[in-house]
Structure 1
Amino acid sequence: MLTPQTLQKLPDDLIDLVSEVQTDIIKSIAKKLVKADYLTPSAEWQLYKASQLKMSTKEITAMLAEFTGKSKRQISKLYTDACKEAINNDAKIYRTYGKDCSAALRSVALSNTLKAGVKNANGMTKNLCKSMVESSQATVTHLMDKAWLKVQSGAFTYQDAIYDAVVELAKQGIATVTYPSGKTDWADVAVRRAVMTGISQTAGQMQLDLAAEMDCDLVEVTAHMGARPSHALWQGKVYSISGKSKKYPKLSTATGYGTGDGLKGWNCRHDFYPFFEGISERANLPVDVTENNRQYELSQKQRAMERSIRATKRRLAAYDGAISETEDEVLKRRLQNQFERHSAILKTKEKRLSEFCDTNDLYSEKDRVRVVGFNKSVSQKAVYGNNRYFVKQMKSYGIENPPKSLDIFENMKYNNSPECKLMNAYITSVKKGKFSPLVGYDHYKKLHNEINNSLVGLTTTNGIEITGQSDHFIERVIGVIKDPDTGKKRLGVELQDIQDALTNGKAMKPKISRDKNGNILYDEDGKPKISQLFVTDKCAVSINPETGVLIQCNPK
C-alpha cells in the first residue's frame, strides 16, 4: 500500500527535470526569435529558416538527451523504491496475521511486473521527448514565418514583428503532449499524471500477485478527504478481488479498477491492502460526502491557481531570454515593460493563492508552483520588475512619491496606516473616474486636510456637529469634466461656500437615502441611510444627521 501523500510526492523530482528542460527550450526559442534576420529576401528565407531550425533542433535534442539519461535512472529508482515500499507494507500486514510471504516476495512474477512498469515509463519518456522536439519545431516555424511575413508586408516595423512573436511565445509556450482526444498538456502536467498513475498501477499489480500467493481475496481501499466525487462513493470500503464473496462486492466492478477513471487510474491517490474477515479491523472511517465534495471543489480551484502561476513564471522566463539576447534598445524596453507587467501579475496571483489557502484551511504546496528554470536570477528580476511596475502604476494615478515597493504598501495596509487608507481612497476615486489623476494625490491630501480643519467641528444651523467626511464628499468638492454616472460635466464646490451652507443655509427635512431605482440604502449595521440637505444660493451640502458625517455637495 502507498499512502495518498506518498503517491502525490512521487513525481516531484522528475517533474523538476522536465520543467527545467521545458523552460530552457522556451528561452532558447525566444533568443532565436530576436536574433533572426527577418529582412532576408523571400528566395533565401526558407534556406535561412531551415538553418535556424537545424540549430534549434540540435540544441533541443542536446537538452533532451541529457534529460533522458537522468530521467531513465530516476524512473528506475522511483518505480523500484515505490513498488518495494507498497509490497513491504502489505508484507507487514500478512506477517501480522501469521502469513510468511518471504518466498513470494522473491518471485519472478513480481520482478517481471516491476520491469514491465519501468519499461513502459521509459517509453513514455521517449515519446515525451519526441513530442517536445516536434512541438518546438512547429512553434519556431510558426512564429518565425509570422514575423517574417509582417516585416515583408511593410505594415509592421522590425521591432513590432519580433515583439509580437515573443509575446505569443510567452503566452502560449510550447504544447508538448497531445492526447488522442486532441487535448494538449504541458510536459510537467503530463509527467505528473503518467508517473503517479504508472507507479500506482505497477504497484497494484504486484500487490494483487502477492495477494494471490497469500490466498488473500479481500482488500480494504484507502480513503482521504477531497477525493473525486465518483471515487468518494467507493473509497474506504472492503472488496473481493475475485468477486466470489457474497458479502463484499467485486473490486474491479465496484471501483473501476483497471480503467482510467477508476481505482489507481489517472491521478488517483487511492490504494488497497490485505483485509482478513473476522480478524482485521477497518482502518478507514466513513468520509462525509458533502464535506468531501466541498474539499474536492476547493482543491480543483487551488490546482487551477497553481497552474496559472506556473504559466506566468514560464512567460517571464521567455521574456527574460529575449531581453538578454536583443541589442535593439526599443525592443528591449517594450519587452521589459511586459516583463514588469507580468511580474506584477505573478505577485497578485501568488497573493490570491496564499489568501485562498488561508481562508479555506488548505495546505499551500510550493512544489506545485515551482518552475525549475525560473531560477533565482529571474526571480529577483521579477521582484524588481514588480516594484518598478507598481511605482509606474501609482504614478499614473497621480501619486508622485509612492511607496517604493508593493511590499511596503502592503505593510502600510497591514498596520492600518491612515496614509494608506487615504491613498487607497484616492486611487479608488481615480479608477472610478470620479476625478482626473491630474488632480494629483498631493492636492487631494491637502484638500482632505483642509476639509478636516475648516469643516469638521462646525455646528450646523440646526445644531448638528460635523464629525467627519466620506470618501464621496471630497470627490464632489473636486469635480470632474465627465461624471461616469451621468456623462456630464460636474463642477466642484469651494470650501467657503460649503461652510456657509452648513452654518447659515436652510436645513431641509431629513430623508431616507435611496438608489436610482428607489430602493432604500442601508449602512453596515443594517440601518437605513439618512441624509439632510443644507442649501444656499451657491450650493447644497448633505450630511448624515445621525452621525454628523459629510456625504456630498453640489453647486447651484
Structure 2
Amino acid sequence: MTGLKTNEQAIKDAIYKQVDAGLKSNMVDKAGHRWSIEGYTRTVITTTVNRAHHELRTQRMKDYGQTLCVMSWHMASREACAYIQGHVVNMVPPNDPRYNAKYDSIYNHGYGQPSGTLGINCHHNFYPFSEDTNTNNQHPTVTPEEAIKNAGLQQKQRQYERSIRDAKKRLRVAEELEDETMIANSKTLIANRQRKLRQLIKEVNKNDQILARDYNREQIAQSNMRNDENR
C-alpha cells in the first residue's frame, strides 16, 4: 500500500508540475521569456481591439486631411507615451509636408514599434483636433516620470494577478484529483496572494487612485468558485 501511495503521489506531482508550467506559445520576447497561451491571447485581443478602435476613430480625420489629435492620458503610462499623453500630437512624421512644428509627433515616440505609442497593450485614445475649432481639455495630473513609475506599480499588480490565476489552476486540478491536502494548501495560497494584492492597491492608492482591483484578471476559465475573493 505504501508503494501504491507513493506512485499515486508521483503522478499527482507530475500533473501539478505540468499545471504550474502552463501551455506555452511560440512567442518569445526580447528578454527571452516565452509567453503563455493565456498571456499571448489576452495581449493579442487587447491590442487588436484598441487598434481597431483607433483606426475607426481617426479614419474620418484622414478623409479630411487632418493630421492633429489630442492624446488621452492615464495615471500609469509606458515611457514612450508618458511625455506626450494629454497633449496635441501630429499623427504624421516630422518629414511629412503636413507636419505642424508646434506639436510633437507620435513617430518620435516609437509609433509602429511594439513598445511604442499605440504599440502592444497601449490603451491611449486619440481625438481629432483642429486648431481653429477645438480646445485641448486633457490636463494630466501626473508628470511623465510619475506616470512611468506608476506603470511599474501596475506591472507589479499584474504579477500578483497572474500568481492568483496560477494558484486557482492548481486548486482546480487538486479538486479533480480529490487531493484534500493540496486543496487546502491551494486555498491558503490563493487567500495569501489576494491579501498581498489588496495591500499593494491600498498602499499605492493612499493619495491618488492609481490602481484598481480587476477581478476579471484573477479568474480562470469556467471557474466554479463562488466566493468573491475566489472568483
Is 1:375 matched up with 2:227? no
Q: Which amino acid aligns with 1:338?
A: M
Cα deviations by residue, 1:426-468 (Å, 9 ceiling, x for unpaired): xxxxxxxxxxxxxxxxxxxxxxxxxxxxxxxxxxxxxxxxxxx
Distance 1:167 1:188, change over 3 A: closer
What is the deviation of 1:170? 3.3
Corresponding residue for 1:158? 7
Corresponding residue for 1:345? 189
Q: Which amino acid aligns with 2:157?
A: Q
What is the deviation of 1:180? 4.6
What is the deviation of 1:157? 4.3
Corresponding residue for 2:79? 229
Bigger RCO (CA 8 Å, 6+ sep):
2
SS of the equivalent of 2:16 reads helix
Looking at secondary structure, tell me which structure has more helix per residue: 1
> Could you tell me whether the CA contact under 8 Å between 1:169 and 1:318 is conserved in 2?
no
> Could you tell me whether the CA contact under 8 Å between 1:226 and 1:293 is conserved in 2?
yes
**Structural RMSD (CA):** 2.5
Corresponding residue for 2:44? 194
Identical-residue share of aligned pairs (%): 25
What is the deviation of 1:347? 0.9
Distance 1:230 1:353, change over 3 A: same
Return the match for 2:131 from 272, 277, 287: 277
Matched residues in 2 for 1:289 and 1:271: separation? 17
Corresponding residue for 1:520? none
> Could you tell me whether the CA contact under 8 Å between 2:161 and 2:218 is conserved in 1?
yes
Matched residues in 2 for 1:172 and 1:200: separation? 30
1:245-256 maps to which residues of 2 (within 5 A)?
A: 245-251=100-106, 253-256=107-110
Corresponding residue for 1:302? 157
Q: Which amino acid aligns with 2:201?
A: C
What is the deviation of 1:307? 0.8
The ranges of structure 1 where at least 4 consecutive aligned residues each deviate by more than 6 angstroms after the TM superposition are: none
Matched residues in 2 for 1:187 and 1:350: separation? 23
SS of the equivalent of 1:268 reads coil
> Could you tell me whether the CA contact under 8 Å between 1:173 and 1:315 is conserved in 2?
no
> Could you tell me whether the CA contact under 8 Å between 2:169 and 2:220 is conserved in 1?
yes
Matched residues in 2 for 1:172 and 1:180: separation? 15
> Could you tell me whether the CA contact under 8 Å between 1:317 and 1:373 is conserved in 2?
no
> Could you tell me whether the CA contact under 8 Å between 1:221 and 1:237 is conserved in 2?
yes
Return the match for 2:90 from 199, 216, 240: 240
1:8-27 maps to which residues of 2 (within 5 A)?
A: none
SS of the equivalent of 1:273 reads strand
Distance 1:212 1:293, change over 3 A: closer
SS of the equivalent of 1:341 reads helix
Unaligned runs of 5+ in 1: 1-153, 324-334, 383-556
Report the TM-score, using the length of structure 2 for normalisation: 0.81
Matched residues in 2 for 1:309 and 1:159: separation? 27
SS of the equivalent of 2:192 reads helix
Cα deviations by residue, 1:375-396 (Å, 9 ceiling, x for unpaired): 137x69x8xxxxxxxxxxxxxx
Matched residues in 2 for 1:184 and 1:224: separation? 29
Cα deviations by residue, 1:26-57 (Å, 9 ceiling, x for unpaired): xxxxxxxxxxxxxxxxxxxxxxxxxxxxxxxx
SS of the equivalent of 1:277 reads coil
SS of the equivalent of 1:178 reads strand
- Which has the greater radius of gyration? 1
Return the match for 1:171 from 8, 14, 20: 20
Is 1:311 matched up with 2:194? no
Q: Count matched residues.
A: 213
Matched residues in 1 for 2:194 and 2:88: separation? 41
SS of the equivalent of 1:179 reads strand
Distance 1:305 1:180, change over 3 A: closer
What is the deviation of 1:195? 1.2
Distance 1:293 1:256, change over 3 A: closer
Corresponding residue for 1:151? none
Q: Which amino acid aligns with 1:336?
A: E
> Could you tell me whether the CA contact under 8 Å between 2:23 and 2:37 is conserved in 1?
no
SS of the equivalent of 1:203 reads helix
